[in-house]
Amino acid sequence: MRMSVIGCGYLGAVHAAAMASIGHDVVGIDVDRRKVDALSRGEAPFFEPDLQELLTAGVESGRLKFTTDMAEAAGATVHFIGVGTPQQKDGYAADLTYVNAAVDSLLPHLSAGDVVAGKSTVPVGTAADLAPRIEATGATLVWNPEFLREGYAVKDTIDPDRLVVGVDAGDDGQAAADILREVYHPAVAKQTPFIVTDRATAELVKVAANAFLATKISFINAMAEIAEVTGADVTQLADAIGHDVRIGRRFLGAGIGFGGGCLPKDIRAFSARAEELGRGESVAFLREVDAINLRRRDRAVDLVINAFGGSVFKKNVTLLGAAFKPYSDDIRDSPALDVAIRLHGLGAWVTITDPAAIPNAQRLHPQLNYVEDRDEALREADAIVLVTEWDEYRRDLTPEHASTLTAGRVVVDGRNGWDAAAWRAAGWTYYGMGRP
């Protein structure tokens, strides 16, 4: 099937490459000439496992191409809208500028029978506003939210755990849903749940899922706050309650909290939209979810300060990680960088290492010291802070090896990823998040 993907950022580039990999003819369209040129050469503009291989194969096969010319969308059966919806600069609401611009640019190139599939995360009600313009061309609008995990985005696109398609009632909507079944034919053949809803529900599914995940993370971090004043161990608490099948252990890892380009801005936009709908009280708890999340960054900084008796001035502090999560180079709203900047502002000499995110971090915060090699970054450090759970830090770095490199023996485990007893036995002063 021939399809276009409007917007070739993180979502769009992954979607375009994945669709080409399962046999579709795909044109990716973006206004950023440099990004389009890189993608046209088969070069991934960001780090995401397996994406580079898919891009190379797609471009070489001829099934995947990229352009800045919206006219290239003409003749496609399905047009995916995958542009960003950032937080507004003057408030919590989502900025729909790019969504509206993408639709306006696409309209002249639509034909009767085309399907426009929104994938961007938008406030509920957005599809209802867009539909009249799109349907005036004879095309049909559906909403097909994405549920990508950074670091696993290729897998989540090709082999998702569910597919949601929001359609308008009537024959056109059902026909559009059938076309989406063809688009995702490998997943459908594997009996992946294919859930057809109305468009408002499809929009709400995405933000509701993110709100739930954010709430679960902040819940265990709230328990960490209680553990810290009672002497309890939040990791044991999480293990115990996680055995309850109604709760589960996933996303119950206390630490410095969540970040990235989705959860923080999505829960804020959800709160703002609920206020607009006159139901702000229904999701008022999300304000506290956000506040708990930000407090954990404060706590990590406080632990480092307390480890040095109240001041980090002229102390060498090495942070293991810059990306907001492992297997990604995404530094948007990164807790790791937030902690680094705060320590730097207090007079510490901050060194950051990360397997993938150093170039991005360096562009945003050139005042910090960056070292690519993990061991070199640890050399002569007075303290180590684990802020991103890369395997080479969480699993592969032993306290015995770290002792051969550092000047001090202070470790702050911002992700509760290490064995506290092992570090203490090796002579380290260990501080965890919600651990005695």
Active-site residue list: 262
The b-or-e profile of 359-394 (16+ CB within 10 A means b, else e) is ebbbeebeebebbeebeebbeebbbbbbbbbbeebb
Report H helices in 231-284: 234-242, 263-276
> Residue 191 contacts by C-beta under 8 Å, 6 or more apart in sequence?
none
Inter-residue contact 308 to 408 (CB < 8 Å) = no
Cα distance between residue 103 and residue 49, in whole Å: 30
d(CA 241, CA 235): 10
Torsion of CA 279, 280, 281, 285, to 10 degrees: 140
Cβ neighbors of 276 (< 8 A, separation 6 or more) are 93, 123
State how far the alpha carbon of 36 is from the alpha carbons of 6, 17, 267, in Å: 12, 13, 31
CB atoms within 10 A of CB 357: 28
Strand partners, 194: 163
